[in-house]
Amino acid sequence: MAEAMLAVRGMSVAYGSVRAVDGIDLDVRAGEVVALVGANGAGKSSLLKGLMGLGGRVGGTILLGGANLYGVSTQRRARRGIGYVPEGRRVFAGMTAEENLLAVSRENAAARAARTQEMYALFPQLGLRRTSPAWQLSGGEQQMLAVARALMVRPRLLLVDEPTLGLAPAAARAVIGALRDVAAGGAAVLLAEQNARAALAAADRALLIRLGRIEASGPASELATDERLLRAVMGG
């Protein structure tokens, strides 16, 4: 089996005295979608933020393509090939959809333009709204934009935080489907999702997270019917 694109060992994330993530091991290989499933406050979002270097005191080791990310700034993590889709989408509201995509690119003008076309091929709906200010887009379109924006730099690892929150089923399907395409293109995808069924349908493997720890892990299809799933999500 190929070496993991992302290898995490004993990771913790603490905010003040709160340990949001408490000793998690996980691997994500190139070409694979791994889902983190759990209730709100289980630590999924904190884990992704910790990987990105956004707040919290992070312990443990994080290897990206074998290189340690310890002490690497957020901006450099992005430049080393992590794409990030934040919770709540957080598109650049005052800029058009196309500007959102262009702004993060690090390629020359021709390559930038070509890459936006690839994004419009992935999300045709976005191509139709390319000149609209991002705040005018629907929730689904904003989510597509947030994913496309992260993909502009051809990341090796894509972190996606709660992409289906508040989306209509059709939009949720489009976004989740695109993540499968991204993995098929060779990237590693780590997906944090409260909507357990949507996440498990899209993922190869999944981790059930509760109170900052891994409750169970395995192939997504097996966990979908596991009784521990309901427990992880509902508590008790």
Which x/- pattern, by CB under 8 A, does the window 196-215 give for other proteins?
Answer: xxxxxxx--------x----
Given 33, 147, 167, 192, the residue binding other proteins (CB under 8 A):
167
* Cβ closest to other proteins, residue 74 vs residue 125: 74
DSSP secondary structure string for all residues of the chain: -PPPSEEEEEEEEEETTEEEEEEEEEEE-TT-EEEEE--TTSSHHHHHHHHHT-SSEEEEEEEETTEE-TT--HHHHHHTTEEEE-TT----TTSBHHHHHHHH--S-HHHHHHHHHHHHHH-HHHHHTTTSBGGGS-HHHHHHHHHHHHHTT--SEEEEESTTTT--HHHHHHHHHHHHHHHHTT-EEEEEES-HHHHHHH-SEEEEEETTEEEEEEEHHHHHT-HHHHHHHH--
- Which residues between 67 and 86 bind other proteins (CB under 8 A)? 73-75, 77-79, 83-84, 86
Supply the minimum distance, in Å, between the C-beta of residue 45 and other proteins: 10
- Residue 50 binds other proteins (CB under 8 A): no
Q: Which of the stretches 9-17, 64-72, 121-129, 214-222 binds other proteins when contact is defined by CB under 8 A?
A: 9-17
- Residue 149 binds other proteins (CB under 8 A): yes
- Residue 128 binds other proteins (CB under 8 A): no
The size of the interface with other proteins (CB under 8 A), counted in residues, is: 66
* Cβ closest to other proteins, residue 17 vs residue 66: 17
List interacting residues with other proteins (CB under 8 A): 15-18, 20, 39-41, 52, 54, 73-75, 77-79, 83-84, 86, 90, 92-95, 99-100, 102-106, 109, 112, 133, 135, 149-150, 153, 162, 164-169, 172-173, 176-177, 193-202, 211, 229-230, 233-236
